[in-house]
Amino acid sequence: MTRTDQHIRKYITTGMQAVLLGIAFTGCDDIAEVPDISDKEVVLIAPTDEATVKGNAVTFTWQPVEDAESYILQVATPDFPNASQVVIDHTIERDTSDNVLATSYSKEMLPRAYEWRVKAVNSGYETPFSTNAFILTEGDAFSDNTVVLNSPENNLVTNEAEIALSWGVIEEATGYRVQILDAGESVVQEEEVTEPSLDITFEEGGFTWQVRAEKDAESTLYTSRELLIDLTVPNTPELTAPVDESTTSETEITFTWSRENISGSAEYDKISVYSDESLETLVTEEEVNNKTFTATLEEGTYYWNVKSFDRAGNEGELSSAFSFTIN
């Protein structure tokens, strides 16, 4: 081996060791920040093991697992060791509008034997599957059926007043009764329709919408979901610190502002810091929930403003811009 070959080999080996060491440190840090849920158990609620369920649909429910970021629900027939078909393979993730992670799922299914299982997952770990078996049979009466709601999803938060409601068809149903309930659970609107859908124009506020199928004097139970209509934009932030045109020798800057929250969907702010008066050269930008933000900056003059948003999609007015100088 020539001296050049030795040098190249040493360079490659040293580089690989550095890369592997960096990966090891990074990996350990990342894993340390993610809670280990691998020894936890998903407790299944319904259907219970070996249960017989009557009707056209099944609602699967389980207890929440702390530190879970999503759940994987699978259903096979007749069971997983002898599956002729996996009829459900669904990942349930957090709702982006309200950060809620659902622990239930409804599905229309054919009468037969099934096995269902759920596991919890986060970015670093997952639990084992928890499994139950059940049999779905046809109901003895029309009332054994369940209306499966399709859209909108449960706990919808939106700034759109016109909402298209839809649900699954129930065989033999002659019609459907739709009710809209306000936050006090009073019925504010009721409609009878023959199609499995209805367009509703909501006022602002929180509502429950529920549907049941009807056949002559018979009816199913109501199936319900909730939604929040937020049509109001957030107030404009008022900047408080650093004071406009102030000077400081500190490089760690704490920005603060005030804004009165409006009832409705959760509100948040986006602060933007620029290095030029025309507000074109962005230095840092962050979404925050508590009306304060700290950043470490170099010497120079900076300009900053804040804009407010809410989870329904409303966007407020941009605040005035303040400037400050770090000497």
Looking at the fold, whether 84 and 156 belong to one and the same domain comes out as no
What pLDDT is recorded for position 94? Answer: 85
DSSP structure string for 73-88: EEEEES-STT-SEEEE
Looking at the fold, whether 128 and 89 belong to one and the same domain comes out as yes
Looking at the fold, whether 69 and 117 belong to one and the same domain comes out as yes
DSSP structure string for 88-109: EEEEEE--TTT-----EEEEE-
What pLDDT is recorded for position 294? Answer: 98
User: Cα separation of 61 and 70, whole Å?
Assistant: 14
Residue where a domain stops, chosen among 202, 231, 260: 231
Looking at the fold, whether 215 and 243 belong to one and the same domain comes out as no
Looking at the fold, whether 226 and 243 belong to one and the same domain comes out as no
Looking at the fold, whether 43 and 134 belong to one and the same domain comes out as yes
Q: How many domains are contained in the chain?
A: 4
Which residues in the chain land under pLDDT 50? Answer: 1-31
Residue where a domain stops, chosen among 213, 231, 249: 231
Any idea what the CATH number is for the domain that residue 245 is in?
2.60.40.10
User: b/e per residue, 271-302, with b = 16+ CB within 10 A?
Assistant: bbbbbeeeeeeebeeeeeeebebebebeeeeb
The one-letter amino acid at 192: E
Q: Order of strands, edge to edge, in the sheet holding 149-151?
A: 149-151, 162-167, 197-201
Looking at the fold, whether 122 and 198 belong to one and the same domain comes out as no
What pLDDT is recorded for position 17? Answer: 43
Residue 275 structural domain: 238-326
Looking at the fold, whether 24 and 75 belong to one and the same domain comes out as no
Residue where a domain stops, chosen among 185, 206, 231: 231
Looking at the fold, whether 206 and 258 belong to one and the same domain comes out as no
- Residues in contact with 76: Cβ distance below 8 Å, sequence separation at least 6, in sequence order: 83, 85, 86, 87, 114, 115, 116
Cβ 236 vs Cβ 319: under 8 Å: yes
SS3 of 28, please? Answer: helix
Looking at the fold, whether 193 and 227 belong to one and the same domain comes out as yes
Looking at the fold, whether 205 and 248 belong to one and the same domain comes out as no
Any idea what the CATH number is for the domain that residue 202 is in?
2.60.40.1220
What pLDDT is recorded for position 95? Answer: 76
Return the residue matching tokens 């760690």: 252
Among 92, 120, 104, 93, residue whose Cα is nearest residue 58: 104
What pLDDT is recorded for position 174? Answer: 97
The one-letter amino acid at 108: E
User: Cα separation of 41 and 202, whole Å?
Assistant: 41
What pLDDT is recorded for position 96? Answer: 65
